[in-house]
Copies of this chain bind each other. A is one copy, B any other.
Amino acid sequence: MNASTEPSGEPEPWSTRSRRTLIETPWLKIARDEYVQPNGDPGEYTYVDIPGSTMVVPVLDDGRLVMVEQFRYLFGRTCLEFPAGGLKVGYDPLDGAKEELAEESGYEAGSWIELGRFSPYNGVSNEYCHVYEACDLVAVGARPEPTESFRVVEIAPDALRERIRSNEIWDGMTITSFMMWSERSEGATRE
């Protein structure tokens, strides 16, 4: 038994003795496990329990990337990010990515490439974020949820890189997804 529902090829040295949900909201659960370490030491682990998320790197025909700027309540400032969102339980990540892209940026994509997955916050949340490249974009009009409001920004990869260098971009999930995309598409060109 494992805090993530994902299969793992590695041994499980800490065993889970109990699990309970302490808090549940429409967006996340807070859970607490009792575990035992391989040396027999017991302990408790309190964490964010979430079914995963997706982030999309949308590439226009001219090579620019589509990003969204939104207000981030926890930091009291706006943040420039790639379109992203949480998955519902049992949802296919690609379907989630398609929904988030359309909702937040107003684009649909003709082709999708899976770039991999990462854990944004591995000590605190069991979330994997699945990253996709979306190409052959067609504008269909954004449909944000009531608590969301987005400004769509189209930006060249080099300009985004410069904003990472200057620390204007401060969303780790966006920087991670951009690097995964950049290593795949630009790394391929470089070699």
Question: Which residues of A does B touch, CB under 8 Å?
Answer: 2-4, 6, 8-10, 12-14, 22-23, 25, 27-28, 30, 33, 35, 37, 41, 43-48, 50, 71-79, 81, 115-126, 128-129, 146-147, 161, 164-165, 167, 169-173, 175-176, 178-180, 183-184, 187
What are 6 pairs between A and B in contact, CB < 8 Å? A43-B147, A74-B122, A79-B122, A118-B169, A120-B120, A120-B173
Which are the 7 A-B pairs with shortest beta-carbon distances? A116-B167, A2-B76, A121-B121, A172-B176, A74-B126, A3-B74, A120-B172
Are B77 and A8 touching (Cβ within 8 A)? yes
> CB-nearest residue of chain B relative to A178?
B179
Q: Least Cβ distance of A73 to chain B in Å? A: 5
Stoichiometry, as copies per complex, reads 2
Q: Which B residues lie within 8 Å of A176 (CB)?
A: 172, 175-176, 179
Sample of 6 further A-B pairs with CB below 8 A, known A30-B30, A122-B171, A179-B179: A2-B76, A8-B75, A119-B172, A120-B121, A165-B180, A175-B176
Q: Pick the contact of A180: B73, B119, B128, B175 (CB < 8 A).
A: B175
Output the nearest chain B residue to A175 by Cβ-Cβ distance: B176
| Cα(A145)–Cα(B130), bound, Å | 32
**With A and B bound together, what is the CA distance between A114 and B6 in angstroms?**
36
Residue of B nearest to A6 (CB): B75
| Chain B residue at minimum C-beta to C-beta distance from A188 | B165
Question: Contacts of A27 on B, CB cut-off 8 Å?
Answer: 46, 123-124
A124 touches B171 (CB 8 A): no
- Nearest B residue to A131 by beta-carbon distance? B167
Q: Given the complex of chains A and B, what is the CA–CA distance between A9 and B170 in angstroms?
A: 14
